[in-house]
Structure 1
Amino acid sequence: MSDAAHVHAHDHDHVEVNPATWTDPKRYAWLLGLLVPLLPFMAWGLVALTGLGVFWYWGPLFIFGVMPFLDTAIGKDSSNPPDSVVKYLEQDRYYRLCTYAFIPLQLIALVGGAALLAGDDLGIGEKLGLALTLGCVNGIGINTAHELGHKRASLERWLSKVALAPTGYGHFYIEHNRGHHVRVATPEDPASSRMGESFYRFWPRTVAGSLRSSWELEAERLERDEIRWFSPRNDIINAWAMTLVLFAALLVAFGIELLPWLIIQAVVGFSLLEVVNYLEHYGLLREKRDDGTDRYERTQPRHSWNSDNVSSNVLLYHLQRHSDHHAHPTRRFQALRHFDEAPELPSGYATMILLAVIPPLWRRVMDPRVVAHYEGDLTRANVDRRKRDRLLRRYAAAA
């Protein structure tokens, strides 16, 4: 990250603080992230308590009903850990254990949910609700995989693939780290959405583009290391093998009738990831360097949309402090910082996802923010080619 970016962090971040006397105010709040894999158990309990089958939909009800309310009620926190404690904070194993604990709970939820989905006790509508709830768990599980997959320790990288297995999205491990982080906020990145591009146009582009990119990147690595593509050392193949083993075990245990529900929850799960990708870099563009190399400038805080809403950040391991993550991909979630120059979303991810699936509402809220971020000059934004002329005329006239 450039020195200029540091200037715009809060001044008090640079005050020397003794790590032994400093306390993370969110230290125990991070355990609330473990509520997510418990959503199917909460659903089961609520149904048992009330007799209402609608509570099998507790996953989407919680994420898109309860979470936006909490984001609004609790508000934002833009405070950062002081620079002098960041190294100490990152070395504290407690935070690692918070993410590790997510994965066994995630797998237990999937097995318990599979048993119910394969049985005869639930109707079709109730099974759909449970499948959607499992999809929410495993979609947010991709975020846990994201946190672990950026780390250097082999255990954490392996756990990342385990967390990706329920959604069959093991190639994310390759594409995100070696593709998205290199091409972020450029027209070449399948995971960076363009101003004027609806989520429904973005979804097929990013799903297909990310899959293709991951294979290209892994093929290059294997060729460089003189390894055959069909090899256990192919990280896409070994990640997908985890999904095959997991799904095969569940089908053997509970029957082939489980398969449609496994597919539904997987699609819901990776779609939840892709809608988050959609909102994280919407319309933002890195400029080309002026050194004649046709390369892009280094990623800066202004190239990611951030949100400091406390509730969503606690459940998503600070994913919403996305600018610092792109500047320092290996930095652990508890140490990610707010930067004043990073563009800010009007609310947390849960609320913004609801807007993203209603394109007219999304455009009304977000397009003016992109325009304001670029001070009215949309030639500096990442704009959908199909909409470019119309958007330039519209906002030039407005200006």
Structure 2
Amino acid sequence: MSAPTLVALERAVWRDSRRYLWLAGLIPPVLPVVGYGLWRETGSDVPWWITPFFVLALLPLLDATTPEDPTSPPENVADRLQADRYYRWVTFLYLPLTGVVLALGCHAWGSGDLGVLGRIGLILSVGAVTGIGINAAHELGHKRERLERWLSKVMLAPTAYGHFYVEHTRGHHVRVATPEDPASSRLGESFWRFWPRTVAGSARSAWRLEAHRLRLRGHRVWSARNEVLHSWALTVVLFAGLAVAFGPWVLLFLAAQAVVGLSFLEVVNYIEHYGLARQATAAGRYEKVDARHSWNSDAVVSNLALFQLQRHSDHHAYPTRRYQALRSFARAPQLPSGYSTMIVLALVPPVWRRVMDPRVLAHYGGDVTLANVDPRRRAELLARHGQPAAAA
């Protein structure tokens, strides 16, 4: 059988076995709707904890009990796979579902029928939905089609994190795994120290990048052309509309769920590049980004729930490549479990360091000087792990 015939046969036979399993990514925005219905029927606050339980307990359990799957789609079907619009509609559907969740959440908040535990559960539920929604926005924001980029900005509005659209594509992807990147966490840096640094740093970086772009083109920074202002304006319009519809008290709820939502994004950022560093070249620049500079995971359940964000090295190498076609690279550093589990670990710094610091050191052959180290803990880490003779 000739080579062209073999290729044609493979194209004809190969099928995406996960095609309909990608709908699992829509489970998070469906769960609060279920919780709302159960709350109305029973009057109990417990249903508002269904979503946090799913995200922080059930997903880690499923990752732990499900074998990893490193298989990737054949490259000769990648173009056809990416052209299949079904996969785009899966991400598109996240947006209207989020709108329903926000409306139901505002109604429940303003009803006066929630206890303290119910209000906390509601904030965590809606924040989980809008936070995971940033992942859908991330997928859409990297694409070339105008509709997808516009939907990305809309999806960022509930978390008031619209500047992510600018900072992530023009900032993070350029400076990833360097000390200059506010979204790349450092060895020895806890998530709770990383959070204020990345939240403030990302906003500043987005504004500077957009101001620089506008000035280069001869436009005023404070103008209708400013994409950061566009994105923030969408949040103002959304929150104002919900306040008019459900009362001004929902602004407190909206602010709280936004903090939870953006924190979901930032804890994932914390995981993705922890301690990894691009080395400086003789020319004074950083080496090219490659598979070594992102933590990856082939945990099946988390990959389905997060549109394969865990195949992060391939995403950084090919940002426009669609989630269903992302590949697993054997040479990429691997996490011990999926993002859902690692999120829980990141919230407890001693546990996180015990699990991840040895992996960072092993990745660099024990040479801590090659890692992206927290300056505040550099002397401590050098004293603890030593400095290889070659580096000394």
Query: Aligning the two structures, in what range does the TM-score lie when normalised by the shorter sequence?
Result: over 0.9
- Deviations along 1:247-282, one digit per CA (max 9) or x if unpaired, are 000000111111111100000000110010001000
Of 101-110 and 133-142, the range deviating more from structure 2: 101-110
Match of 2:212 among 206, 214, 220: 220
User: Contact 1:165 / 1:240 at 8 angstroms: preserved in 2?
Assistant: yes
Paired residues for 1:302-341 under 5 Å: 302-341=292-331
Matched residues in 2 for 1:66 and 1:49: separation? 24
Paired residues for 1:100-115 under 5 Å: 100-115=92-107
Q: Secondary structure at the match of 2:49?
A: helix
Give the counterpart letter for 1:394 in structure 2: R
Tell me the matched-pair count: 384
Q: Gaps spanning 5+ residues in structure 1: where?
A: 1-13
The answer to whether residue 96 in structure 2 is matched with residue 96 in structure 1 is no
Instruction: Find the counterpart in structure 1 of residue 273 from structure 2.
Output: 281
User: Contact 1:114 / 1:258 at 8 angstroms: preserved in 2?
Assistant: yes
- Deviations along 1:360-384, one digit per CA (max 9) or x if unpaired, are 0000000000011111111111011
Matched residues in 2 for 1:16 and 1:284: separation? 41
Change (3 A) 1:175 1:64: same
Match of 1:378 among 363, 368, 380: 368
Q: Per-residue deviation at 1:17?
A: 6.0
- Deviations along 1:178-198, one digit per CA (max 9) or x if unpaired, are 000000000100000000001
Of 70-79 and 186-195, the range deviating more from structure 2: 70-79
Instruction: Find the counterpart in structure 1 of residue 382 from structure 2.
Output: 392
Change (3 A) 1:158 1:397: closer
Identity %: 59
Matched residues in 1 for 2:246 and 2:44: separation? 25
Q: Which runs of 4+ in 1 moved over 3 A?
A: 14-18, 45-52
Instruction: Find the counterpart in structure 1 of residue 353 from structure 2.
Output: 363
Of 53-62 and 181-190, the range deviating more from structure 2: 53-62
The answer to whether residue 141 in structure 2 is matched with residue 153 in structure 1 is no
Of 301-310 and 111-120, the range deviating more from structure 2: 111-120
Change (3 A) 1:91 1:342: same
Match of 2:289 among 273, 279, 299: 299
- Deviations along 1:329-351, one digit per CA (max 9) or x if unpaired, are 00000010100111111111111
Instruction: Find the counterpart in structure 2 of residue 354 from structure 1.
Output: 344
TM-score in terms of structure 2 length:
0.95
Q: Secondary structure at the match of 1:18?
A: helix
* RMSD of equivalent CA atoms: 1.8
Change (3 A) 1:245 1:368: same
User: Contact 1:289 / 1:295 at 8 angstroms: preserved in 2?
Assistant: yes
Give the counterpart letter for 1:302 in structure 2: R
Match of 2:241 among 249, 258, 263: 249
The answer to whether residue 335 in structure 2 is matched with residue 345 in structure 1 is yes
Q: Per-residue deviation at 1:124?
A: 3.0
The answer to whether residue 205 in structure 2 is matched with residue 238 in structure 1 is no
Change (3 A) 1:15 1:275: farther
Change (3 A) 1:119 1:233: same
Instruction: Find the counterpart in structure 2 of residue 200 from structure 1.
Output: 192
Q: Secondary structure at the match of 1:128?
A: helix
The answer to whether residue 66 in structure 2 is matched with residue 71 in structure 1 is no
- Deviations along 1:287-311, one digit per CA (max 9) or x if unpaired, are 1122xx3111110011000011001
User: Contact 2:368 / 2:387 at 8 angstroms: preserved in 1?
Assistant: no
Q: Per-residue deviation at 1:45?
A: 3.9
TM-score in terms of structure 1 length:
0.93
User: Contact 1:33 / 1:315 at 8 angstroms: preserved in 2?
Assistant: yes
Match of 2:155 among 144, 160, 163: 163
